[in-house]
Amino acid sequence: MPIRRLAPAVVNQIAAGEVVERPASVVKEVLENAFDAGARRVDIEIAGGGRDLIRIADDGSGIPADELTLAVEAHATSKIESAADLERVSTMGFRGEALASIASVSRFALESRTHSEDEAWRIEVVDGAIGSPAPTAGPPGTRVEVRNLFHTVPARRRFLKSETAESARIAEVVRLLALARPTIGFRLVSNGRCLLDLPATDDPRRRIIGVLGEELDGRLIEIRGEIGSPADGTLTSVWGLVGLPETARPTAKNQRFILNGRAIVDRSLSHALKEGFRGLVEPGRHPVGVCYLEMDPARVDVNVHPAKTEVRFRETRPLHGLVRRAVQEALQQADLARNLALDVADDPAVGEPRPSGGSAIARPAPSSEPDSGFGGSSPSVPSSRSSRPFTEARAVGKSRSSPGVDLSRVREAIGDVPMPATPPITSAVEVLPTLVGSDAVLQVHQSFLVTQDAEGLVIIDQHALHERVMFEKLHDRCAAGPLESQRQLVPIVFDADPASIAALESLAPLLERLGIDATPAGPRGVAIHGFPTLLITRRVDPGPFLSELLERAAQGEIDRDDHEAALADVLDVMSCKAAVKAGDRLGEREIAELLAMRDRIDREGSCPHGRPTHLRIPIAELERRFGRSPG
């Protein structure tokens, strides 16, 4: 068959295959045109799930009568003039193919009136044939009417879902775009029934609650952050609202990202949001959040896909870090400490049950539960420790007979970590029969640290807290550059199956960033030439560590296609392996460093796997337990 030019109608239908996937795609494209026209209100009416009818009316600037014909021709647009304009697109539409594509697969009508004209004009497209504009009555703005969608491509019509499912998709698109433009009012009617009615507002908080649900009112936290400088055009900011950890959902459906007013889908941003909640939300659940990002349009490419929901950032890593830190800082400022209520239901000696409205109860995991870190449980603590009398608890605190600690030596051990804002630890490590002084810290059963804060008694899980500390430390070091690596005098070689060796090759850039130098050694072996100095100092065995890591990657437990997600997964493993374990006896300097780091990063109160790092028994609970009157 000779090469020939395709007819315009065929070209338009090919484009429609990318732009108009289903009725919801039509709604999205037309609404984005309304945004560019400066609309303050849009009304959407659908019938038959959008198959039979989609009618959208806006009060925007309108289209002049002499431009109506151009508006329904392919690649005709007022948004850009040259290829250079594609480098900094600031409008929602710019391809000039949406209306032509929609018209090619439906019975299409476009009616518009500018604010300077006395009458509206209407144009119709039937089976690809564009009619002549004709005058009609109508208010300023634009009205698009789409009937019998895909009647020219019946095969595609058969692939559509049920009327209810397609209506739900349209409603979801309207909600998403309503989040992007809070100052625009939206109303969606399906078969005569109102599905959505969102009035315009200058307060994006009200729009977020209106879209996500009134049940989230009072359960959202504001996030805010920025990086870069306006002087060189690198300023990037984020503002938004995220739900408290208990609002997390089974899917990421309630995560929304708005970039320069455009609703986008981006795996890296979604991962960053989830990373901000690391330790507070179970791995299988997803936090709720709406994030608005602003950046120079020249720093992002929106011309990636006809649907314009996917974008390509010039630099992904700083943006990921911006969102993650903004979420973490907001959560750190919130009071998310877990209060532990002593169960007195079966104890008649303790008076009345707890009144309703008291603090939420959060109980620690049973001591028999294995550590949730990758690679098995923490070293077990000898069972004999349970029979050790309480008087053998090791204490760090004030004592009448104890000399003070040299604080300069503690700071030297900690490095650049600031001392906690609470009163300093000022005694040597001793075996004491009881606590003396108000600022004491005990290590109990070589697993827990017991201290106090302004609200009550605080019990710290040393492994969970140190695991959180190690994760944050490793993440910050990786952000600054590759981890320091220690070369092996003799390579450490271990057996590996082909799938693990393939995983090694795909993870090579990430491993290099982590300070791991490893190469295939024959068809079924891996040789480790360098290993992170930090892990070596924490006595982590390189062979088993990398072997288990590669097995996990080979089984799909590490996302090799998402660099930031893979980094977080590997840092999970590293932090668990490097952390102190239950049963480890901690020295004075180790305790001081751990508590100082807790004051700096551990306001969230959970390890990377969601287990609590500390629990608090409020003073009121202790008073009640001992039968004392409050105060």
**Based on the domain organization, do 167 and 38 belong to the same domain?**
yes
Q: Per-residue pLDDT for 616 more than 80?
A: yes
12-38 pLDDT per residue, tens: 544 444 568 899 999 999 999 999 999
Q: 115: domain CATH number?
A: 3.30.565.10
71-97 pLDDT per residue, tens: 888 655 554 344 554 455 556 654 557
157-179 pLDDT per residue, tens: 888 888 888 998 999 999 999 99
The CA R_g of the chain, rounded to the nearest whole Å, is 31
**Based on the domain organization, do 19 and 168 belong to the same domain?**
yes
**Based on the domain organization, do 96 and 226 belong to the same domain?**
no
pLDDT at 159: 83
Dist. CA 432–CA 400, nearest whole Å? 12
**How many domains are contained in the chain?**
3
**Based on the domain organization, do 159 and 218 belong to the same domain?**
no
Q: 494: domain CATH number?
A: 3.30.1370.100
126-150 pLDDT per residue, tens: 877 889 999 999 999 999 999 999 9
pLDDT at 93: 52
Least confident of 48-52, 454-458, 492-496: 454-458
**Based on the domain organization, do 185 and 209 belong to the same domain?**
no
Q: Which of 585, 559, 583, 561 is nearest to 572 (CA)?
A: 559
- The reported pTM is 0.58
Dist. CA 294–CA 296, nearest whole Å? 7
**Side-chain-facing half-sphere of 548: CA atoms under 13 Å:** 16
105-118 pLDDT per residue, tens: 899 999 999 999 99
Task: Choose the final residue of a domain: 314, 333, 352.
Answer: 333
For the packed helices 563-578 and 267-276, what is the interaxial angle rounded to 10 degrees? 30
279-328 pLDDT per residue, tens: 788 777 889 999 999 998 888 877 665 566 678 888 888 899 999 999 98
- Would you say 596 and 417 are in contact if contact means Cβ atoms under 8 Å apart? yes
Residues 32-58 have a mean pLDDT of 95
Residues 460-478 have a mean pLDDT of 82
pLDDT at 112: 95
Task: Choose the final residue of a domain: 333, 366, 391.
Answer: 333
Average pLDDT, the chain: 76
Cα-based angle 337, 338, 340 (whole degrees, multiple of 5): 140
pLDDT at 135: 94
Residue 49 within any structural domain of the chain: yes
**Based on the domain organization, do 226 and 151 belong to the same domain?**
no
More confident: 440 or 472: 472
Domain range for 254: 204-333
560-613 pLDDT per residue, tens: 666 777 788 788 778 888 787 777 888 778 788 777 777 666 445 667 666 778
Dist. CA 579–CA 535, nearest whole Å? 10
For residue 309, the tally of other CB atoms under 10 A from its CB is 16
**Based on the domain organization, do 29 and 128 belong to the same domain?**
yes
Task: Choose the final residue of a domain: 294, 309, 333.
Answer: 333
Share of the chain above pLDDT 90, in %: 31
Q: Residue 58: which pLDDT band, with cuts at 50, 70 and 90? A: very high
pLDDT at 415: 41
**Based on the domain organization, do 123 and 227 belong to the same domain?**
no
Q: 293: domain CATH number?
A: 3.30.230.10
**Based on the domain organization, do 275 and 186 belong to the same domain?**
no
**Based on the domain organization, do 150 and 61 belong to the same domain?**
yes
Q: Which of 486, 491, 488, 487 is nearest to 527 (CA)?
A: 491
Q: Per-residue pLDDT for 360 more than 80?
A: no
Residue 127 within any structural domain of the chain: yes
390-447 pLDDT per residue, tens: 223 333 333 333 333 343 433 343 344 333 333 333 335 343 333 333 457 888 887 8
Residue 623 within any structural domain of the chain: no
More confident: 310 or 481: 481
- Would you say 313 and 262 are in contact if contact means Cβ atoms under 8 Å apart? no
pLDDT at 144: 96
Within 8 A by CB and 6+ apart from 482, the residues are 512, 513, 514, 515
The structure tokens listed for 164 are 């209810």
Residue 132 within any structural domain of the chain: yes
Residue 419 within any structural domain of the chain: no
For residue 146, the tally of other CB atoms under 10 A from its CB is 27
**Based on the domain organization, do 155 and 13 belong to the same domain?**
yes
Residue 414 within any structural domain of the chain: no
- Would you say 42 and 188 are in contact if contact means Cβ atoms under 8 Å apart? no
Residue 33 within any structural domain of the chain: yes
Residue 381 within any structural domain of the chain: no
**Based on the domain organization, do 268 and 314 belong to the same domain?**
yes
Share of the chain above pLDDT 70, in %: 73
